Amino acid sequence: MGVRGMFKNLGGQGAEPISVPDAEAAARKISKVDAKERLEMLDAFEAAGIAWLWATDPEGNLIYLSDSAVETFDDKRPVIGEPLGKLIETVCETESEGRTRPLSFLLSSRTSFVEQPVRVIEPQEGRASEDSETWWALTGKPQYDAKENFLGYRGSAKDITAVYQDQRDSSRMAEYDSLTGLANRHRMTRRLTAILNAYKVEKRSCALLMLDLDRFKQVNDTLGHPAGDELLRQVSQRLQRIVPEGSEIGRLGGDEFQIMIPDMDDRGDLGELSNRIISMISQPYSIEGSRAIIGTSIGVAIAPYDGIEPNELIKATDLALYAAKGGGRGQFRFYSNDLKETAEDRREIEEDLRDALVRGELEMHYQPVVDAKTHIVRGFEALMRWEHPVHGAVSPGIFIPIAEDSNLIDELGAWALRQACEDAGSWPSDLTVSVNVSAQQFVSDNLPSVVQSALQTSGLNPDQLELEITESVFMGDVEATDAMFKTLSKLGVKLALDDFGTGYSSLAYLRRAPFDKIKIDQSFVRGCTEDDNSNAAIITAIVSLARAMDMVTTAEGVEALDELDKIAALDADMVQGFIFSRAVPQADVLAKLEAGELKYEPIGPAKSRADRRTLFRRISVIHENHHYTVMLRDLSRTGARIEGLVDVPVGTQLVLDLGEGQLVVCTVMRSQDATQGLSFETSLVTDGAGGLCTRHRVSPYMLASAGMPLQALPPGNYKMPTRDSGPDSTPRFMQVDVSAGSSRAR
């Protein structure tokens, strides 16, 4: 149609074509009333491709578009007469970056706009890739007649595809990690700030997960930095496959990753997601023909419960991650207020651990390994214990990871080997001693000389020493790992694969390494007596495999009599667990052996039961509009036992306040004297550290609406906002001080 036709449609004056002007005419000024010259100039402007012209009717339908712009669209695709919003779209660059919205949203405001970036919409069946998208800069102005009736938009457009893609690539380089393609620290911080600011207004939640990779340094050290880079790329790909839709993943640097999940605050769902991430990241990697195995630890915090501001939430995830790593790695941990104190204790423990050996605070304890059928002792596992002068007994699950982080594990491991061999030298010659060797200690070139020195100094027969290793030693340099196994075998010591079945591709390890024993992890022992549990079948398969390969089996963590009977019936060779004994000092071992007591009698509950934590802490119980203080004795996922209230009928509904906004609705199932057995309406979930927590908590938004300041949930118990139930009624139950054996009512 051309500009001339367009102006006719718009009410301009038409004119016949004019001849080419001579030099004198060309030099004269074109007046505003010279419609012919002006239209010719606009035609030339369009033809030159400097910009395109467009117009819509009052309904937003396109009534004019320059011919060269029409060529941008498919020949078969209608353009003129179509709503402009079906042809191009804007992209929102605010809180929800990358989200498109129809152009009609912009046109409906009937305001002018200049150089608005828009994207040409491709047909659904033939959508272009990001690299082949077409971008325009759109300028428009609403038009009105003399009576102020809206006539539509008139404007110009130009192709900015090349410029826009260059700008996008530059922006991407500034906001995305070049190695993995994930968001970088700068972008994640900016996005978290934008989301939290918006969500405070909208009263929404956002979960933040912080990850770092366990044993990643060993991959770099053994396989080189290029292999480490490839590993990071593969980790990022796995994360992208598993996180929920709408999440954003960032690599903050090194082996640190962050995951932002809007509108998720269910700690049950977050715990399950964290476990899936840990499982997926822990699967073996193939890198340039080598095999690598790493793990990950995860810290989880949720806004607004654990933090309102970005820095506050990030610090909470850091503390949770720190606690997850300190708890033994390969686990997740939710943030709680007590982690600040825990982090300070851990730093103190790290400092004190360096002097613990010199001060003689470490000692070896020994747990018996007995014949599954005769209950005759066959050996002992050496387990390190630390009695801290201030903190008391410090769990190996706490100080061993600290030793690994602070490069003390080699020194501790060497001491453990020497001490265990020295102690075992005084036992009967047919008893073995098992010593755990960490993956970090295993890759040390000094390990064979340390083992040989411990044997020579103690005089222990090499076949009495058993080194327990986990599948994590197989990561990294395959040739170096195989060489270490050959060297240790030549020394005559035995090798045991610990925690069998909890890792991946264990059959490949059994084929490669000269193991004498497989230790069946306690996670398979637990539940093996239940009819609908497959653990018994798994144990049977492991025992059969070990027997076929001339290996011995030991079932770990046996605690109940029915578990012991089941393990014996499944033909496991040996058993280890609390049912026979906890780990005890060398003096206790010698006393039993010198008395000729080589048989251990099983002592434990008749049947295994769901894990239940015995607690002794005060909590608040709410009934109607009254708060009572009771003692929490037992706690499981589905129920609890409390003491401190009398005259509580069976069937009474109570609310337990476990602190930090955790409220649990429950029903009294048993009631005798001052003790009640409770059943929970909603099961608790794991907190990632062996404890239990509620799925949901009281929202800080709700507390703020009741007059409290908007802040992360404070520690301890505090009165929750409740509906106005009128004046307080008489308390229904009598509260007694069970700790003092008093019946004094409160």
Across 267-281, 325-339, 354-368, 544-558, least confident range: 325-339
Give the amino acid at 6: M
Query: How high is the pLDDT of residue 741?
Result: 44
- Residues 118 and 90: their CA atoms lie apart, in Å, by 5
What is the band of 152 on the pLDDT scale with cuts at 50, 70, 90?
very high
CATH number at residue 722: 2.40.10
> Cα dihedral sign for 475, 478, 481, 485?
positive
Closest by CA to 432, choosing from 448, 420, 441, is: 420
Residue 605 placed within a domain: no
Res. 637: pLDDT tops 60: yes
pLDDT band at 718 (very low <50, low <70, confident <90, very high): low
Same domain, 71 and 210: no
Q: Has residue 3 been placed in a domain?
A: no
**Which DSSP category does 475 fall into?**
S
pLDDT confidence of residue 26 = 47
Residue 621 to residues 83, 172, 311, 696, 724, Cα–Cα distance (Å): 63, 53, 34, 18, 18
* 3-class state of residue 76 by DSSP: coil
Among residues 536, 563, 594, the one where a domain terminates is 594
* One domain for residues 348 and 328: no
Mean pLDDT of all residues belonging to the chain: 84
Categorize the per-residue pLDDT at 443 as very low, low, confident or very high, splitting at 50, 70 and 90: confident
Split into its structural domains, the chain has a count of 4
Please report whether residue 37 resides in a domain.
no
- Amino acid identity of residue 569, one-letter, is A
Give the pLDDT band of residue 29 (cuts 50, 70, 90).
Answer: low
Q: What average pLDDT score do residues 724-741 get?
A: 67
Q: CA 451, CA 432: separation in Å to the nearest integer? A: 15
Residues linked to residue 193 through DSSP beta bridges, in sequence order: none
**Of 139, 168, 197, which residue constitutes the final position of a domain?**
168
Give the confidence band of 746 by pLDDT, cuts at 50, 70, 90: very low
Residue 417 sits in the same domain as residue 459: yes
Which pLDDT does position 23 carry in this prediction?
Answer: 44
Using the predicted structure, report yes or no on whether residue 466 has a pLDDT greater than 90: yes
The answer, yes or no, to whether residue 50 has pLDDT greater than 70, is yes
Around Cβ 715, how many Cβ atoms within 10 Å? 13
Give the lowest-confidence range in 136-150, 217-231, 253-267, 467-481: 467-481
Domain contains 40:
no
Task: Give residue-wise pLDDT tens across range 693-716.
Answer: 999 999 999 888 888 888 988 876
* Strand pairing class (584-585; 295-303): unpaired
**Which pLDDT score, from 0 to 100, does residue 439 have?**
80
CATH number of the domain within which 308 lies = 3.30.70.270
Average pLDDT over residues 540-558: 91
Claim to verify: residue 368 and residue 483 sit in the same structural domain: yes
Using an 8 Å Cβ cutoff, are 228 and 220 in contact?
yes
In a domain, 197, yes or no: yes
Q: What is the pLDDT of residue 19?
A: 44
pLDDT given at position 130: 58
pLDDT band at 190 (very low <50, low <70, confident <90, very high): very high
Res 21 pLDDT > 50: no
pLDDT tens-place string over residues 291-345: 788 889 999 999 999 999 999 999 999 999 988 887 777 889 999 888 876 767 7
Residue 18 forms part of a structural domain: no
For tokens 């009576």, what's the residue?
A: 147
Domain identity same for 430 and 554: yes
Give the pLDDT band (50/70/90) at residue 20. very low
Q: Do residues 540 and 669 both lie within one domain?
A: no
Side-chain-facing half-sphere of 189: CA atoms under 13 Å: 8
How far, rounded to the nearest angstrom, does the alpha carbon of residue 351 sit from its chain's CA centroid? 29
Task: Tell me the pLDDT band of 662, cut-offs 50, 70 and 90.
Answer: very high
275 plus 359 within the same structural domain: no
Domain that holds residue 160: 49-168
Same domain, 206 and 329: yes
Percent of the chain with pLDDT over 70: 84
Residue 69 has pLDDT above 50, yes or no: yes
Q: Let me know if residue 602 belongs to a domain.
A: no
CATH of the domain at 432: 3.20.20.450
Long-range contacts of 376-379 (CB under 8 A, 24+ apart): 376/598, 376/599, 377/431, 377/598, 377/599, 377/600, 378/430, 378/431, 378/432, 378/574, 379/431, 379/432, 379/433, 379/434, 379/466
Give residue 90's pLDDT: 80
For the chain, the straight-line distance linking the first and the last C-alpha, in angstroms and rounded, comes to 92
**Mean pLDDT computed over 277-290:** 88
* Backbone angles phi and psi of 268, in degrees to 5: -65, -50
Q: Is this structure's pTM higher than 0.85?
A: no
- Whether residues 309 and 401 share a domain: the answer is no
Q: Considering 289, 316, 337, which residue would you say is the last residue of a domain?
A: 337
Q: What is the pLDDT of residue 737?
A: 77
Most confidently modeled range among 39-53, 93-107, 623-637: 623-637
CA dist., res. 168 & res. 182, Å (int): 15
pLDDT at 380 over 50: yes
Does 9 have pLDDT greater than 50? no
458 pLDDT more than 70: yes
Give the residue, 355 or 197, on which the prediction is more confident.
Answer: 197
Lowest mean pLDDT among 215-219, 225-229, 570-574, 667-671: 215-219
Can you tell me the mean pLDDT for 545-562?
Answer: 91
Q: Which residues of 429-459 are buried (b: 16+ CB within 10 A; e: fewer)?
A: eebbbbbbbbbbbbbbeebeebbbebbeebe
* Two tokens, residue 203: 């009263």
Give the mean model confidence (pLDDT) for residues 177-189: 92
Asked if the model's pLDDT at residue 593 lies above 90, the reply is yes
742: pLDDT confidence band, cut at 50, 70 and 90? very low
Per-residue pLDDT tens over the stretch 506-545: 566 677 778 899 998 888 888 788 877 888 898 999 999 8
The answer to the question of residue 325 being in a domain is yes
Examine the domain organization and report whether 401 and 331 are in the same domain: no
Q: What is the pLDDT of residue 222?
A: 76
151: CATH: 3.30.450.20
**Residue 9, CA distances (Å) to 34, 63, 156, 301, 378 in order:** 18, 9, 17, 62, 102
Q: For residue 135, which of 170, 184, 106, 100 has the smallest C-alpha distance? A: 100
- Residue 495 confidence (pLDDT) above 70: yes
**Cα radius of gyration rounded to whole Å, the chain:** 36
Both 403 and 287 in a single domain? no
Query: Are 659 and 537 within one domain?
Result: no
